[in-house]
Structure 1
Amino acid sequence: MSRISLQSLGCKLNQAEIDSLAHRLAGRGHLLTESADEADIYILNTCTVTHIADRKSRQLLRGARRRSPEALIVAVGCYAQRDPRGLERSGVADLALCNDQKDRLPEIVECLRRPRDGDVTDPRSSWQRRTRSMVKIQEGCSQFCSFCVVPHVRGTERSLSLDDILQDVRDRLAAGHKEIVLTGTNIGQYTWNGHGSRGLAELVQRILGETDVTRLRLSSLRPHDLTRELISLWSDERLCPHLHIPLQSGSESTLRRMKRPYSLADYARAVHSVRDSIPDLALTTDVMVGFPGESDREFEEGYRFCERMDFAGIHVFPYSARPGTAASVMPGQIEDGAKKERVRKMLALAQQSAQRFRRQFLGQTMNVLWESKSSGTTWDGLTANYIRVSAGSSGDLSNRLLPVKLMAEKGHAILGENIEGGYIQHG
C-alpha cells in the first residue's frame, strides 16, 4: 500500500479524472493523502490551456519535489501530453504520461514504487470527503477553434458507455456524495452507440430516473446543445438551475476569427430560451480578451453584448498563444498592457452583473449544500444555482443539504440565517 497525493489543475474534466483515479486507487488499498509531504507518489493532472497553466503545472510539480524529495513525481494530463519528454528530461517530473495512458495509472505506479512502512488509515476517507463529485462522460473535441490547444492534446470526441456512467454515478452516491457534476471536454456531443444512438438528454434522463441523486449539475454546454428535449428535463428540481455557456467573445467578427460554431444571434436565442424555461437560472460564461486582431471597437462590442446578457458570472481571461494553433500565427497580436486593461474592464462588468444576480435572492429561503468550514464556526456552501453562502454553526454541516434564508451580501457570498433548529447562526 502506498501513500498517494493527487492534485488537479484546470478544468472540471481534469477534476473528474482525478476523482475517478482516487476511487480506483482506494479500491486497490492505497492511502490517499492531501499532503504531498507525506506521499510516496505525487500525481498532478496538468493543464496547458494557457501559458499560465503551463507555468502553474511546473510550479506544482517542483513544489511537490521540494516537499517530498523521495516521492515519485508523476505528471499526467494535457501539459504532459504536449511535452512528456521535456518534463522528464528537466527533472520536473520522474514520469510524464500522455492522456491515453491515464487509465493504466494504478498499474504503472505500482510497478515503479514500493510503499513506505508504517500505519495507514482508511484509504477511502479522502475520496469520500467531497460533497460534489465530477463524473467524466466524454472526452475530446473535433471543433478545432483557432485559439484552442485542447483537440491537439485530448484528441477527437469519444464518449463513455451509458451503463458505465450510471454505475460510476451510483458508486459516487454510495460513497456519500450529494451532488454529481457531469463533465467532459464537450459534453453536448455525448453520444453512445452501443444500442442505438443515445445523446446527453437521454443520459441525464436515465441518471434522474435510475439513481437517487440529490443534485445533478451539467458543466459547459454550447448554444446548439440546448435542445428542447434537454431543456425540458429541468422540470426535475434535482437538475441544478445553472448553465455555463462559453461565449469567448461578444464581437461577431472576433467569433468568426476564433472559428466558434455559433453566431451572437444563436447565442442570444439560446440564452432567452433557457431563461424562459428554467426558474432562478444562473447563467455563467467564459470571455477571452485580447484575441489577435481584436480592435478597440470589437472589444467594446463584446463588452456591450455581455452587458445585455447580464451573466451571473463571467470567467475573464487574456488570450494566450498556444503552440500549433492557428491563432498563434495570426497577425495583429495584442500587447500585454492592452490585454490587462481589457481584462480589468471586463472583470468590473463581471462583478457588477454577478452582484445583481445574487441580490435577486436576498430574503428568499434556498437549499444550501454545505461543503466546508472556512474559519472558526463559519461554513461555506452552494445553492443549486451556484450562489455561495456563508453561515455560522457550532455543529458539523459538512455534506448536509439544508434550507437557509439568504440575508445579506458579504463580498462575493451571501450570509445565511437559521431556518432549521436554530443551529445555523447569522454570519
Structure 2
Amino acid sequence: MNKTIHFETLGCRLNQVESEGAARFFTDSDFSVTMEPFTARSFDESVVLCVVNTCTVTAKAEQKARRIIRMLLKCCPNSAVAVTGCYAQLDQKEIMAIDERVCVLGGQHKGSLADLPSFLKKILEENPSITGLEISQKIQKIFDKENNSSEQNVITSPFRLATETFINHSRSSLKIQDGCNCVCTYCRIRLARGKSVSLDAKEVIERVQKLEGAGQSEVVITTVNISQYSSEYNGRKVRFAELLELILQNTQKIGVRISSLYPEIVDEKLASILENPRVRPYFHISVQSGSDSVLARMKRPYKIEAVYRATELLRKAKKNPFIACDIIAGFPGESDEDFDLTLKMLKECGFTFVHAFPFSPRPGTEAFKMRPMVPNYITDKRIAALEEFNKNSKTEYINSFVGQSLPAVCETVHRAKIFKDRVIIHAVTENFLHCQLNFSTKDSNLPAAGSEISVKILRPLQEAEKTGESDTLAVFA
C-alpha cells in the first residue's frame, strides 16, 4: 500500500508553518512525508496524496500554483492532489477545473487537514488498489462539508496545525494570529484569511514551552498582522508587547524571532522588551511605500513618520540589527517623486534588505480598478533600483561583521550539497545572515541539522559562489 504524502508550499511563512503542522498529523498516522519541491523531471508512483498550499498575493503566485498542480499530476500518476491555502479559498472552481484528480479545501478551513490522515488511512486499508481519482472524489466529499460550513469554530481552526517537530525547517515556528481587519486597497489576503483571530495567550506560552522542551533553540513568531494580536491573561488584556514579555518570563533559554512587525506598534514599551538578549536582532517591517500619499491610497494604517520612528527604536533596542521591509513598486498613481521618497526612506532608515514586489492588481480589491496605472517599463525600472539598493546595502551590512563570531543555527541536512571534494553546509546567524560553510568530504564531525554553532564571518559571497540562499562566507569560530 502506497503511504507517501508530498507537500508543495508557496508563499508566506504562515503557509510554511501550516504545512509543517499538517505534515505532522500524517507522520503521526504512519505516513511517509516529503516536502522537497518536485521538478518537472520528478516521478514517484508511491505518492498517494499531494498537498499544495497556495498563495494569492500576486497573479504570478496563482500562476505558479497552477503550474505546480499540473506538474504533480504528471509526476505522481497514482495520487490525488489536494489544494488548499489562500488561492484555494478564493478560486475553488478555477482550481478544480484543472483535473478530476484535484480536490480543494478552502484556506479558512485548512485546520481540517488534521482530520485527513485517519480518513485517508481508512480508505487505503479498505481498498489498497484505489486510484488517485477515487481518492480525490472521496476527499472532496469531506472537503465540501467544510467549505460550505459557516460555523465559527470551523472557520477559526487554523491554530490546530501546530507541531514541535519540523521536517523541512531547522528553526521552529508558531502562528499566534491569523486574518486581518485592515482594508488595504491592494490586498487579497484579508479576503482569503478572513477577520483577525488570535491564539489564546496561555496557549501561546504553553506551545513555546513545549518547543523549548523538545530541544528547539529558536521559535519564529508568525502572524498575518501582528498589530492585531489580542488576548487575555489572568484577567488583563494582552497585546503583542505583553505577550512577548510573557513568553520571555515563562521560558528559560529559547530564542525568539519575530517574523514581521507593523511600524505603528513599535513603541518605547515594545522596544524595551526587545532589548532582551533572547530576542533575535532581526526585524521585518511591513512598509510598502515611503510616500504618505501612496500609503493613503493603499489605506495603510500609518504614515511614513511611523517607519522612521520604528527603525530608530529598533536600533536603540539592538546593536546593528538586520532590518528588512516590503515595498510595492508601481502602485497606481505612484509618481517619480513618490518613488524617490521611498528610496530616500530606505537609505535614511538604514534598511538592510527590501522584499520588492511589482504591483499586481488583484480581483476583489479596491486597487484593481485604480487609475492611472504605472506603465510596466517604469515599474521594472523601479524594481531594478530596489534590487540595486539591496545589493549595496546587504554587502555593506555583511562587511560590518567581517571578523566577528556570531551564534548560528545549522540548516536542515537536505540543504547540504557535495561539490567534488567539499561539503557545503548552510547556517543562519541570529541576525539572519545566511552563511555558507565549506567542509572536506573527509570531515567526520559535521554539525547536525538544527544544532547551534558559532561562526566567524569572512566576507560576502560572490554570485558565482552562492548556493541556495547563502550570502555570506563563514567558518567555525
Determine if the TM-score, normalized by the shorter chain, exceeds 0.5: yes
- Residue pair 1:33, 1:126 contacting (<8 A) in 2 also: no
Q: 1:375 aligns with which of 417, 423, 436?
A: 417
Q: How does 1:172-321 map to 2 (within 5 A)?
A: 172-193=211-232, 195-321=235-361
Shift of 1:109: 5.5
Deviations 1:381-407 (A, max 9, x none): 111111111112333312221122111
- Residue pair 2:323, 2:352 contacting (<8 A) in 1 also: yes
Larger deviation: 47-56 or 190-199? Answer: 190-199
Gaps of 5+ in 2: 39-43, 130-162, 463-469
Paired letter, 1:55: Q
Distance (Å, rounded) in 2 between the aligned partners of 1:175 and 1:42? 28
Shift of 1:297: 2.0
Q: 1:100 aligns with which of 99, 108, 120?
A: 108
Distance (Å, rounded) in 1 between the aligned partners of 2:331 and 2:199? 34
Paired letter, 1:10: G
Paired letter, 2:385: K
Distance (Å, rounded) in 1 between the aligned partners of 2:177 and 2:100? 30
Match of 1:138 in 2: 177
Shift of 1:213: 4.8
- Residue pair 1:187, 1:220 contacting (<8 A) in 2 also: yes
Shift of 1:335: 2.1
Alignment partner of 2:261: what SS? coil
Distance (Å, rounded) in 2 between the aligned partners of 1:237 and 1:374? 29
Shift of 1:93: 6.0
Alignment partner of 2:173: what SS? strand
Matched, 1:401 2:401: no
Matched, 1:387 2:387: no
Match of 1:416 in 2: 474
Shift of 1:126: 8.2
- Residue pair 1:19, 1:133 contacting (<8 A) in 2 also: no
Shift of 1:176: 4.2
- Residue pair 1:132, 1:178 contacting (<8 A) in 2 also: yes
Paired letter, 1:169: V
Gaps of 5+ in 1: 119-123, 420-427
Alignment partner of 1:247: what SS? strand
Alignment partner of 2:220: what SS? strand
Computed over aligned residues only, the root mean square deviation of the Cα atoms, in angstroms, reads: 2.3
Give TM-score, length-normalised by structure 2.
Answer: 0.81
- Residue pair 2:267, 2:310 contacting (<8 A) in 1 also: no
Shift of 1:129: 5.8
Distance (Å, rounded) in 2 between the aligned partners of 1:26 and 1:311? 40
Distance (Å, rounded) in 1 between the aligned partners of 2:410 and 2:120? 39
Paired letter, 2:346: C
Distance (Å, rounded) in 1 between the aligned partners of 2:407 and 2:116? 43
**In the superposition, relative to structure 1, how do residues 213 and 57 fare at CA in structure 2: closer, same or farther (>3 Å)?**
farther
- Residue pair 2:198, 2:231 contacting (<8 A) in 1 also: yes
Shift of 1:320: 0.1
Shift of 1:6: 1.9
Matched, 1:329 2:379: no
Matched, 1:88 2:96: yes
Matched, 1:342 2:420: no
Matched, 1:153 2:203: no
Percent identity for Structure 1 against Structure 2: 29
**In the superposition, relative to structure 1, how do residues 110 and 63 fare at CA in structure 2: closer, same or farther (>3 Å)?**
farther
Alignment partner of 2:307: what SS? helix
Alignment partner of 1:142: what SS? coil
- Residue pair 1:180, 1:213 contacting (<8 A) in 2 also: no
Match of 2:132 in 1: none
Deviations 1:17-70 (A, max 9, x none): 112212233233332223663421111110000001111111111111111022
Match of 1:28 in 2: 29
Alignment partner of 1:271: what SS? helix
Match of 2:85 in 1: 77
Distance (Å, rounded) in 1 between the aligned partners of 2:100 and 2:62? 12
**In the superposition, relative to structure 1, how do residues 92 and 271 fare at CA in structure 2: closer, same or farther (>3 Å)?**
farther
Give TM-score, length-normalised by structure 1.
Answer: 0.90
**In the superposition, relative to structure 1, how do residues 261 and 27 fare at CA in structure 2: closer, same or farther (>3 Å)?**
same
Distance (Å, rounded) in 1 between the aligned partners of 2:165 and 2:232? 35
Shift of 1:222: 0.8
Q: Kindly tell me the number of residue pairs found equivalent between the two proteins.
A: 414
Distance (Å, rounded) in 2 between the aligned partners of 1:267 and 1:293? 21
